[in-house]
Amino acid sequence: MAGAAIFDVDGTLTDTNHLHVVAWWEAFRQAGHTVPMPDIHRAVGLGSGDLIERLLGADRDPEQDEAISSAHTVLYGTYFDRLPAFRRAGDLLRTLAGRDWRVVLATSASGAELAALRRAVDADEAIRDTASSDDVDRGKPSAEPVELACRLAGVTPEHAVFVGDTVWDMEAAARAGVRAVALLSGGIPRADLERAGADVVYRDVADLLDHLDDSPFGAGLV
């Protein structure tokens, strides 16, 4: 067994970060807030509560949080039947599973959203388990989702590699003691990902698959 291959989903396996940006922007607008889209983009990947606090501040009216989060869920849900996976995302997961990597998803998505994302990726046969927002108390950048993914895969952190696209992914991996592979497909600059703890950076999942033998997945982990 090579180890655990842990994957974020939004922005990593699926081209959905900007759909989240638009849905959050409209949810904030409906609640009377004007939030710049670049600010929302940099916050994507956080759990809903942390994202709202980061963008509106700790002194906001917290009684609005549930309504804002629910509006985002409804707005984003309109895309569920056409969420786009990145090219070769499913091929990458199947290739890793075929090399005895235990593939686990670590994502803030859950329920119908997670089901829609998995349909888009279309590689369920390669996915061993999922650590979703329903399964942890704190989302990324906390180490908890990555630590749970390691437990689900039955490995210790030194036998795992985490692939993500945001600084929150890289920080979570670093805190969990897991090697971090960053992808530029989520729209976050390379320098930001490297500062947050990325060991290596690739353009997208297709680029990672093309260079798999030279990546942290190439020789496996012992």
Those residues with Cβ within 8 angstroms of residue 16's Cβ, 6 or more apart along the chain or in another chain: 9, 10, 79, 83, 84, 117
Residue 38 in domain: yes
Look at residue 127 and tell me if it is in a domain: yes
CATH number of the domain bearing residue 53: 1.10.150
Give just the sign of the alpha carbon dihedral 145, 146, 152, 156: negative
The answer to whether residues 91 and 59 belong to one domain is no
Tokens 């396996």, located at residue: 13
Q: Tell me: do 93 and 67 sit in the same domain.
A: no
Domain holding 100, by residue range, is 3-16+84-214
Distance separating alpha carbons of residues 110 and 219, to the nearest angstrom? 32
Query: Which pair of structure tokens corresponds to residue 133?
Result: 């927002």
Q: What is the pLDDT along the chain (222 residues), one digit of tens a residue?
A: 679 999 999 999 999 999 999 999 999 999 999 999 999 999 999 999 999 999 999 999 999 999 999 999 999 999 999 999 999 999 999 999 999 999 999 999 989 999 999 999 999 999 999 999 889 989 999 999 999 999 999 999 999 999 999 999 999 999 999 999 999 999 999 999 999 999 999 999 999 999 999 999 996 554
Which amino acid belongs to residue 144?
E
Tell whether 67 and 176 lie within a shared domain: no
Residues 150 and 210 in one domain: yes
CATH number at residue 144: 3.40.50.1000
Number of domains making up the chain: 2
Q: Are residues 45 and 141 in the same domain?
A: no
Q: Give the contacts of 120 (CB within 8 A, at least 6 positions apart).
A: 14, 83, 84, 85
In this structure, are 51 and 137 located in the same domain? no
Same-domain pairing of 174 and 114? yes
Instruction: Please tell me whether the peptide bond between 38 and the residue prior to it is cis, using omega within 30 degrees of 0.
Output: no
